[in-house]
Copies of this chain bind each other. A is one copy, B any other.
Amino acid sequence: MSYMPPTDAMFLWAESREHPMHVGGLQLFVPPEDLGPDFVTNMVDEWREQDYVNPLYRKRPAEPVGTLGNTWWSYDEGIDFDYHVRHSALPQPRRVRELLALTSRWHGALLDRHRPLWEAHVVEGLADGRLAMYTKVHHSLVDGVNALRITQRSLSEDPDNRECLPPWAMPPRKRSTEIATVPKSRNPFGLVKAVGAAGSNTLSLIPGGLRVASQIVKDADLSLPSAPRTILNGRVGGARRFAAQSWEIDRIKRVAKSSGTTINDVVLAMVSGALRDYLSEMGALPDEPMSAMVPVSLALRSGGDDNGGGGNAVGAIVVNLATDRPDGATRLEEIAYSSRSNKRLLSSLSPTQILAYSAMQMFPLMLGPIPGAIKFGRPPFNVIVSNVPGPRNEMYFNGAKLDGLYPVSIVMDGQALNITLCSRGKYLDFGLIGCRKSVPHLQRLLTHLESALAELELSWG
């Protein structure tokens, strides 16, 4: 057994049937040409016969589950691989649509706390011949960025490499990916862990850490944001809907270059245009501009006051999405302006101030699952848009070419929609996860994202 820090345990405490706290990923593969009919079955069988299992994939909360016993981790010796590694198939007509429906169901189901907190679902039989894999891992074990990093480690740049191991069969790296390190993680939830870790090991978020964070924010004279209420910012149910699509990075880059903005600005402008169209169709667009919370990586001032030097840090900024503006080009301008100002503000802070400020913005989310804690006044922002780094080159798993790497993140009370994207070679893979009840027809956002990009291309393509 090992001690579970409160910054891990909070994801177990906060979890309920309405608020599963796992992060997922959906990968698509084009199988090698020499694929036999039993390729998937054999792979699943092999995957279930691993002698060595990485400690991360053996970790579960010590019993009794659900009480203060959660503050200890235990490590299972025997793994019930038939349970964790699941072989599935798609119903007719076996399109991506059926795959997304299945992913939605899987992501809405809680992990069993009596076992190590992960599942892998191998899916055979897309009509176009592709294979898919959906994985989920509890957020108390790993954040989204590190989950993706582990996935990438299991892949190879060499199409002829047939020695690839599934993530659970790989030994940890020297610098273990199990521990979310402050400067590396760009996942918004990682921030909350980070505040706990910053300063000293005894500074925890619950409740002392937050008090410290609140004081730091006050001392630095920072104001916390607020956004209009929308259908995206109420209570959520337990069911999910997932949508995913890839866009060529070059299209986005061209717009960014001609308009003098960044790739992230253009992505936010796509999101802004899509949300505007989506909410307008339902007569639910607020008069005030909506905003997005965006985790960012920052180059720090050298000689920082508490880290003893420059380097990188992670923060969260809230960007004005300008959804009140009917013109796409104007929205992009306002987004770029808001994003620059916020980054400037953040880069003037010390790493500890950045973490505290970012965590305070996140804080209402953490209270979400606690009944009565949130009165649902104005949310701090309307949507989370997160961009996580994926592989730069073509990647393969035992000859199968990676053809999609879609993050499946977390929604919670007050934030019923999360858009997380991942770069993959020439593509940006968008993963949209929403509460099935409060975000109806989520898949329409995909069409609207494309329309918003096309509109920007008319001005700056």
Contact = CB atoms under 8 A, between A and B. Distances in A.
Interface of A: 16-18, 37-38, 40-41, 64-67, 80, 82-83, 86-94, 98, 101, 105, 108-110, 112-115, 124-125, 237-239, 371, 436-437
Nearest to A236: B114
Query: Copy number in this complex?
Result: 2
Nearest to A437: B114
Given A114-B437, A239-B114, A437-B114, A91 B40 contact: yes
Contacts of A238: 110, 112-114
5 contacts: A17-B112, A17-B113, A67-B371, A88-B91, A110-B110
A67 B382 CA distance: 28
Most chain B beta-carbon contacts within 10 A, residue among A16, A40, A92, A371? A92
A357 to B, nearest CB: 33
If over half of A's interface residues share one DSSP class (helix, strand or loop), that class is named, otherwise mixed; here it is loop
A125 to B, nearest CB: 7
Nearest to A41: B92
Given A86-B105, A109-B109, A91 B124 contact: yes
Nearest to A38: B92
Given A17-B17, A115-B239, A238-B110, A92 B89 contact: yes
A283 to B, nearest CB: 17
Given A17-B110, A80-B436, A91-B40, A115 B237 contact: yes
A371 B64 contact: yes
Contacts of A437: 80, 114-115
Given A110-B110, A371-B67, A124 B92 contact: yes
Contacts of A18: 65, 114
